[in-house]
Structure 1
Amino acid sequence: MPAGSDRREAARPGRPPEPRHYLFALTDGGGTVPPEVGVVRRLADRGHRVRVLAETSMEKAVRAVGAEFVPWRPEPAPHGDVPGHAAYRDWETRSPWKLARGMADHMIAGPARGHARRLLAVIGPERPDVVVTSFVAFGAMAAAEAADLPFHVLVPNIYPIPVTGLPPMGTGWKPARTGLGRARARVAGDASTRMLGRYALPRLNEVRTELGTPPLRVLWDQVHRARRQLLLTSASFDFPAHPPSAVRYVGPVLDDPVWARAAEWRVPDGDGPLVLVALSSTYQGQQRCVQNVVDALARLRVRGLVTTGPGLDPHELRGGGHVEIVRSAPHGEVIDRADLVITHGGHGTVMKALVAGRPMVVLPHGRDQPGNAVRVAARGAGVVVRRTASPGTIARAVRKVLDTPAYADAAGRLGHRIRTEVEHSPLIDELESG
């Protein structure tokens, strides 16, 4: 389904009173690319001038929505621009210190100086009205601040900064209901902030000193200096919380990735329920997990469509029979025909499944996925199993969800609320008024 044709997206009539000049500073976070480029598309469609600083891995997606592409590196990379996060092999460690250092090195502090200098160079005489950044583009935020330009931050998932009411990111915990539970959540959130700050804050403050801006006391203060933090998720999906006043729930952006929109696919043979399998658009060491899912579906009277994404070669998996394995398919289109979605819990796939009213089996790998998974389970819209689960365990979970109408009913009710949020999203109003 091409971007812009999604029937769930409300059309906003007319043009803005005055076209504005937006400069986006985006990083390639895999699943974060479609929603962030979707925001770019919405502004370009309304007649604004939109320039996008991004890795060359995003060039095709940016140009496809009618925006101007500007690479982070002014000179061409010899083999294409590889996103910094690609070297961050977070799935290989469970050490919180190593995870924090990797995030600081590859996503936040490591690129900060280069991002800041490049953004200031691109601003030049073509000074934009507004800067919009990815959540991890801390150097770009600091440069916009130094240039006295208003900036917004896009958060294309659940809120990652510790706040009262929300379980700490990555834990998969439910909201605390007791004083002891709230204390545990507060301690865990403070600890994660300190760990990440230990590796990222000194280097980020060096960049800020070079820019002539005062140092930060806490790492998250850089994000809090944004005029708006735009959460591209659903308030109905999230747990009740008390985020800072600049945080706005603007609903999910449901665009498919550019590499999947024109992909050819067919419904697998047979007459059983159709199960879509979508486990990450980036590599997270998921081959064994995907194979276990394929083997689980082979035991059941279902039809399986397995999409591996760019990070995994379909030929590395054993399929056959009523299970079709392809690299990509337009999820927005396939989910409408599916009876069940099996996913790692990536925010985009979860939102699309819920909007379509489809229940899920979630095998979270890491990052924000445990948090998405616990929200799905808490709403009764699916079940969660470990990513290391055996084919037998996965098959039982699939059978349970397919045989229990309450899961589909709950997904349908939640999906209705999310669709309403999408149709009445304040996203464009927030961007055009800021």
Structure 2
Amino acid sequence: MAEVVVVTWDGGGNVPPALAITRELAARGHGIRVLGHPAQRAAIEAAGFAAVPAEHARDFRAGDEHTTRELLATFGDRGMGRDLLAELARRPADLVLVDALMLGALEAARGCGVRYAVLVHCYDEYYHGALRGPLGLLLRATGLRPGRALREAAVRVVTTLPDLDTVRPGGVARQVGPIVPWRPRVDAEPTVLVSLSTFGYDGMTERLQAAVDGCAGLAARVVVTSGPRVDPSALRVPPGVEVHRFVPHDELFPRVTALLGHGGHGTTMAALAHDVPVAVLPLDPRADHRMVGRSLERAGAGRLLGRTASADEIGATVRGLLADGPHRAAAARLGARVRAASGAAGGADALEAVLPESARAVASGSEG
């Protein structure tokens, strides 16, 4: 049995793939500890894992609004790295799995000599582009060297679909496929799910209002999840549209015909897993939303809207996705690929393959 420490952060869509791989490793007999932001402690423990005390990490909550400076400070947080080192000193680990955006913790793992892996939960193409751009420049100005830390990782686990995301050739990347929940489809009336991010982006209320207005009058049930940042009472809700603060997506997607989302990787891949075409209404030009939308357009399984698209433009786009056409076949084709990937098992396989020989031998013996 190996001892694995997982480093995550309270970012929203990054957490489910990390926990899914973690659960798979735990089911195989490995010991798991999870280091995240203080706001995550209850959820980590509720999932059945030991929460590593975060005494030096910056306070961060996904539902709050964050400036670019605050995001950069969180990504490069050396306090999270100090918490990781303190935990490893208290109790060594055979492997550390670090969220790709926790670059301060990634640098700490590289510097202390522990064997470590990187979990990339967005498009690999976007991730490396961001590190080459302003994000990388600012991080390097603080003394961080993310490129070196990535090169020296034992493996980079990329949870994306080869049909949509180009992974950098060579190196230690293992593209295991999206890690999203799936349930069999249910016959139901045409249904549109409108769901923007749980993360705090600027202007979310205005963008969600435009989406609600655009979906008014559609020949379909329209379900809107407003999330933690938008109070449903702040929206003007036309007849035929229902607004909820939160509804579990895994309960909705088996009945959904089309998704209007912001292009977040997790929600988009969950839609595709259920053969659902996607309209992307991007919320932040710094994020991967537009890249996700463009990849869906190239694959024929969705449409990319402008960030300031009008209600009329949104309505026309969603109406087109509700209709029959090649976009439905394209979404089903991608959905079959997502379901076949078994990303959580593939991620666990990739991590087990780089365990030290002694930990691999113990784990192998425990299976017998």
Contact 2:278 2:303 in 1 (8 A): yes
- Please give the secondary structure, in 2, of the residue aligned with 1:124: helix
- 1:242 CA displacement: 3.5
**Residue 232 (1) aligns with residue 197 (2):** no
Kindly provide the amino acid, as one letter, of the partner of residue 143 in structure 1.
A
Q: 1:251 aligns with which of 177, 187, 203?
A: 177
Question: Cα gap change, 1:162/1:139 in structure 2, threshold over 3 Å: closer, same or farther?
Answer: closer
**Alignment correspondent of 2:67:** 89
Q: 1:281 aligns with which of 192, 195, 198?
A: 198
Partner Cα distance (1:330, 1:341) in 2 = 14
**Alignment correspondent of 1:411:** 331
Question: Cα gap change, 1:221/1:337 in structure 2, threshold over 3 Å: closer, same or farther?
Answer: same
TM-score normalised per structure 2: 0.86
**Residue 300 (1) aligns with residue 300 (2):** no
Kindly provide the amino acid, as one letter, of the partner of residue 391 in structure 1.
A
Contact 1:274 1:304 in 2 (8 A): yes
**Alignment correspondent of 1:395:** 315
- Please give the secondary structure, in 2, of the residue aligned with 1:352: helix
Partner Cα distance (1:250, 1:43) in 2 = 15
Deviation per CA, 1:177-197, whole angstroms, max 9, x where unpaired?
Answer: xxxxxxxxxxxxxxx625334
Partner Cα distance (2:67, 2:350) in 1 = 35
**Alignment correspondent of 2:298:** 378
Q: 1:124 aligns with which of 89, 102, 109?
A: 89
- Please give the secondary structure, in 2, of the residue aligned with 1:311: coil
- 1:368 CA displacement: 1.0
Partner Cα distance (1:86, 1:198) in 2 = 25
Count of equivalent residues: 347
**Alignment correspondent of 1:345:** 263
Name the % identity: 32
Contact 2:192 2:221 in 1 (8 A): yes
Q: 2:150 aligns with which of 214, 220, 223?
A: 223
Deviation per CA, 1:136-190, whole angstroms, max 9, x where unpaired?
Answer: 2222222222322100011111015676xxxx45xxxxxxxxxxxxxxxxxxxxx
1:178-193 residue pairs with structure 2 within 5 A? 193=132
- 1:89 CA displacement: 2.7
**Residue 363 (1) aligns with residue 281 (2):** yes
Kindly provide the amino acid, as one letter, of the partner of residue 231 in structure 2.
D
- 1:299 CA displacement: 2.5
Question: Cα gap change, 1:353/1:194 in structure 2, threshold over 3 Å: closer, same or farther?
Answer: closer
- Please give the secondary structure, in 1, of the residue aligned with 2:206: helix
Unaligned ranges ≥5, structure 1: 1-18, 91-100, 170-191, 206-215, 257-266
Partner Cα distance (2:4, 2:127) in 1 = 29
Kindly provide the amino acid, as one letter, of the partner of residue 86 in structure 2.
A
- 1:26 CA displacement: 1.4
**Alignment correspondent of 2:80:** 115
**Residue 60 (1) aligns with residue 60 (2):** no
Partner Cα distance (2:233, 2:349) in 1 = 46
Deviation per CA, 1:103-158, whole angstroms, max 9, x where unpaired?
Answer: 533322xx12x122221111124101101111122222222223221000111110
**Alignment correspondent of 1:310:** 228
Partner Cα distance (1:193, 1:323) in 2 = 43
1:24-43 residue pairs with structure 2 within 5 A? 24-43=6-25
Partner Cα distance (1:317, 1:147) in 2 = 50
Deviation per CA, 1:57-97, whole angstroms, max 9, x where unpaired?
Answer: 2223312322101232269x9xxx4349956335xxxxxxx
Contact 1:345 1:372 in 2 (8 A): yes
- 1:248 CA displacement: 1.0
Contact 1:358 1:408 in 2 (8 A): yes
**Residue 159 (1) aligns with residue 124 (2):** yes
- Please give the secondary structure, in 1, of the residue aligned with 2:52: strand
Partner Cα distance (2:270, 2:90) in 1 = 41
**Alignment correspondent of 2:358:** none
Kindly provide the amino acid, as one letter, of the partner of residue 71 in structure 1.
P
Q: CA RMSD for the aligned pairs?
A: 2.5
Deviation per CA, 1:280-323, whole angstroms, max 9, x where unpaired?
Answer: 11121211111111111112222110011122222211214221
1:167-206 residue pairs with structure 2 within 5 A? 168=129, 193=132, 195-205=134-144
Partner Cα distance (1:146, 1:237) in 2 = 34
Q: Which of structure 1's runs of 4+ aligned residues deviate more than 4 A?
A: 84-87, 160-163
Tell me which moved more, 335-344 or 308-317: 308-317
Contact 2:62 2:200 in 1 (8 A): no
